[in-house]
Structure 1
């Protein structure tokens, strides 16, 4: 993928040589717009320790342009949802999907979303479940245009909003969708 004559963006697994602090800064930048609108997503303020913990719960992928960290997503399948969360047995999930604001509209978010879905299917789940602020209409619309359907609501203790839980069925790994 080329972005305005820049070097290609490379997506690869996060490694022990990558910086959790730099990843945390990317998350803060990517979610700052939501925070400015009053939606306090956990990723907009989480600590480096929180980021490390969340990385340890899944498989983290990073997008780099040269040495610049410009995107990320963390996936897990099956997803260990809290009791009562409307996930469905065996669903996978992703979190910390983030694109540097300078790369919005470049297709990088879609590329990371597709990767997350592919990895979740490869890990054996036939569905993805995620959530976002019920107030994030533009984000909900983005997910709905990509096949996600509302299945319930949830309230996390680290956010200041109710979440809309969205689900998308996946084709088995290796099969067309």
Structure 2
């Protein structure tokens, strides 16, 4: 089968994937289990991302702070991302105040490597622009070299570091000029 994006175009090998907004009928518990699975390898490597252990209540709160998008393979939840613009940053966080952001970007381990992460990233960036922000800011563990590299290859650039009180690592803060990236397409 072909992995298809929300517009039906082929996106790589795999099974058909649909992406839609989280609705009242969706399960925060199911989303939490997906997050735990998706971030388990990071936790096993000693990088305790909040998504690797957050509660169902935490998931619902974090999903409610923006637009939560879900990816399904048939009826099975296999991916997610939550988007907000502007992104309310804590004092001292090294990012522009008017930037958008995304979090809880997760792909089930059985679907990783098939392009779903890129599709969810594209949804996040498109929604940030639609919500009125020209830049996206994110952060991830400085120790997650493969993940940092993934973002760098997609146009994100480091702008500083941050330490969250819910993780056990220092984060690299990355920024992408979405308006400039659209002009390059």
Q: What's the TM-score bracket when you normalise by the shorter of the two chains? A: over 0.9
Report deviation, 1:5: 6.0
2:78 alignment partner, one of 70, 84, 99 = 70
CA distance in 2, matches of 1:65, 1:170: 28
Q: Does 1:40 align with 2:44?
A: no
Match 1:161 to one of 166, 169, 173: 169
Q: Distance in 2 between matches of 1:78 and 1:140?
A: 23
2: CA distance, partners of 1:89 / 1:56: 20
- Counterpart-to-counterpart distance in 2, 1:24 and 1:2: 27
Structure 1 unmatched ranges of 5 or more: none
For 1:171, the equivalent position in structure 2 comes to 179
Deviation at 1:171, TM superposition (A): 1.5
SS of the equivalent of 2:179 reads coil
Verify: 1:17 aligned to 2:30, yes or no.
Answer: no
Q: How many residues align?
A: 175
**Aligned residue in 2 for 1:2:** 2
TM-score by length of 2: 0.91
- Residue number among 31, 36, 39 corresponding to 1:31 in the alignment: 39
Equivalent residue in structure 2 for 1:140, among 131, 139, 148: 148
Does the 8 Å CA contact 2:160/2:174 hold for their aligned counterparts? yes
Task: Give the C-alpha shift of residue 89 in structure 1.
Answer: 2.2
Structure 2's unaligned 5+ residue stretches are 4-12
TM-score, with length taken from structure 1 = 0.95
Alpha-carbon distance between aligned partners in 2 of 1:175 and 1:147, rounded to the nearest angstrom: 13
Answering whether residue 82 of structure 2 is matched by residue 55 of structure 1, we say no
| SS of alignment partner, residue 171 of structure 1 | helix
Residue aligned with 1:158, SS: coil
Which of these residues, 73, 96, 111, is aligned with residue 103 of structure 1? 111
Query: In the alignment, which residue of structure 2 is the partner of 1:87?
Result: 95
Question: Where in structure 1 do 4 or more consecutive aligned residues deviate above 6 Å?
Answer: none
For residues 92-141 of structure 1, give each alpha carbon's deviation from its aligned partner in whole angstroms, at most 9, with x where no partner exists: 00000000000011000000001100000000000000000010000000
